[in-house]
Amino acid sequence: MIGVGNPWRGDDAAGLHAARALRQLLPAPIEVLEETGEPTGLLERFEHAEALWLIDAVRSGAAPGAIHRLDAGAEPLPPELFRSSTHHLGLAEAVELARALGRLPDRVVVYGIEGESFDTGSQLSSPVARAVTETARRVVEEVMACTRKP
């Protein structure tokens, strides 16, 4: 599980906050990481994952706090959803580069949390803070269902 974000840009830190919450909720063998969105760091993490859940802030025009769930293992991520990333390379481009290089696991789920404010120095907005909690709950549910033995 990787939370992606910029801790100094308000709602862009949503993925980082979700990772911190998930660290408290998921069992120890499941690795929970925080990344700033730097492409080489992301590609390295993708390559060694058996399954991958990614959480990042997005700006698509939906209401702040809206949660988008995408199956990136099945189809490319829409770059327009991640177009206002404050990262050097958008998450959609990093995922597609990993796919082209054969470094993407078969199971890749991406949660995008619709941001409201990406201003420097701002805190998470209320709708995004609520969405972080809900996204963490959903990820725990998915990960645990995926790791249960039949």
Residue 53: give its domain's CATH number.
3.40.50.1450
What CA–CA distance (Å, rounded) separates 44 from 54? Answer: 14
For residue range 88-101, list pLDDT tens digits in order.
567 888 888 899 99
Residue 121 sits in which domain range? Answer: 2-147
- In degrees, rounded to 5, the angle at the alpha carbon of residue 43 between the alpha carbons of residues 132 and 106 is 75
pTM: 0.90
Q: Which two tokens stand for residue 108?
A: 């890749």
Which residue, chain included where needed, has tokens 């830190």? 13
Which residue, chain included where needed, has tokens 């080489």? 40
Counted domains in the chain: 1
Is 54 exposed, middle or buried (CB count within 10 Å of its CB: 0-12, 13-18, 19+)?
A: buried
Distance of CA 50 to the CA centre of its chain: 16
For residue range 35-65, list pLDDT tens digits in order.
987 777 788 888 778 899 999 999 989 999 9
